Structure 1
Amino acid sequence: MHSIKETFTSRYALSEENFEILRSHMSLIEKQKGELILKEGQVDHSVYFIEKGAVRSYYFNKEGKDVSVWFGFEGDIAVSLGNFIHAHPSLENIELLENTTLLKISNSTLLELYTTHIDLANFGRRLAEQALLEMEQQIFLTQTSDAKTRYHSLIDKFPGILQRVKLGHIASYLGITQVTLSRIRAEK
């Protein structure tokens, strides 16, 4: 497991100096498994980076079923984009799947850092590009692949996910039932 500093410097090409500038504006918070850091309908003026732990975003569909949208692990960002960009009430809930350590920064502070430090602005751009790329890949997989392919893609992306995330959450993310997920997992 890489530290968040190693992740930011390797994945997003952020210099150690700029990481320290960013880090100096963040507060470290620890939350318990099952807590929500964002609730549907809430406006939160913060961005969270996952130092240690696992997080998922979900919403309730019209039948009242809980549907997982994304998972986040060490080095990932946990934020509702509509909340961050336009301060719209969140369409999703963000739940901690493990006891989690987060680095929290206010939207306004982060945006100010983007305007005063070009390297941090580029870091933010790369974060956004990565999020868009992952969203595009997920949409493409969902629309063009069968459940087995989607499952194997998820395992390739997050090799330890089965040890960290409930199967029901994984099934809802894949758009399948737990029975179908069990059948796929049983195939060799």
Structure 2
Amino acid sequence: MHPLRAHIEELIPLSDKEFEFILSHFSHVKKRRHQYLVQEGDIADKEFWIAEGCVRSYFLGEDGKEHILQFGMENWWITDYESFVLRAPSKTSIDCMEDVELYSISHENREKLTSEMHKMERFWAKKSKLGRIALQNRILSMMKNTAKERYELLLSQYPQLLQRVPKKHIASYLGVSRETLSRLND
């Protein structure tokens, strides 16, 4: 079974014909490590589903310090959603931390697909709700948990991430220094 179909069918059933129609709206993309999917200031005109690999979404503070908003791994969707939806310049950059295989859908094709196929409108509505829950939990964790608690939560939720991502990026995601992260490992 096609991996994108398996992913969509976790939430909604599809016929072969329906999946062929859905897939016709996507482009298959391969990117190398360090290549960008989205660069700050550009319009994010595509949303990406990650079939293989790992990416990060981040912005640079006024002091030049990198702040990681999220990582994306297999079966995750990613873009700068404000830019994608509002057609505004991106506030974040998304780059590949590994070689990646993706399926991208343009803003235009996503709008077309959701208007022509109610099942995909429901799929993205469900994905959006799950994404809001994850974002809420991340914000709550940043506000109420200690650095150690945030680190332990990351370990329990995404143990494979620590083997795939440099510690400096884990520290940035957790909002701590590299030195603090080293102490958390002890």
TM-score, length of structure 1 as denominator length: 0.93
**Kept in 2: contact 1:168–1:178 (CA 8 A):** yes
Q: Which runs of 5+ in 1 are unaligned?
A: none
**Kept in 1: contact 2:34–2:96 (CA 8 A):** yes
Aligned twin of 1:90: 90
Q: What amino acid is aligned across from residue 150 of structure 1 in structure 2?
A: R
Q: What amino acid is aligned across from residue 92 of structure 1 in structure 2?
A: T
Give the match's secondary structure for 2:98. Answer: coil
Give the match's secondary structure for 1:124. Answer: helix
Q: Which runs of 5+ in 2 are unaligned?
A: none
Matches within 5 A, 1:114-133: 114-133=114-133
TM-score, length of structure 2 as denominator length: 0.93
Aligned residue pair count: 183
Q: Is 1:159 aligned with 2:159?
A: yes
CA displacement at 1:36 relative to structure 2: 0.8
Aligned twin of 2:74: 74
Query: 1:55-113, CA deviations, whole angstroms, 9 ceiling, x for partnerless residues?
Result: 10000012111111100101111111111110010000001010000101111111111
**Kept in 2: contact 1:59–1:92 (CA 8 A):** yes
**Matches of 2:7 and 2:164 in 1, distance apart?**
20
**Matches of 1:73 and 1:48 in 2, distance apart?**
11
Range with greater deviation from structure 2 (65-74 or 19-28): 19-28
**Kept in 2: contact 1:4–1:50 (CA 8 A):** no
Aligned twin of 1:16: 14
Q: Is 1:100 aligned with 2:100?
A: yes
**Matches of 1:182 and 1:102 in 2, distance apart?**
33
Q: Is 1:30 aligned with 2:39?
A: no
**Kept in 2: contact 1:56–1:68 (CA 8 A):** yes
Percent of residue pairs identical:
28
**Matches of 2:5 and 2:152 in 1, distance apart?**
29
For the aligned residues, what is the CA RMSD? 1.4
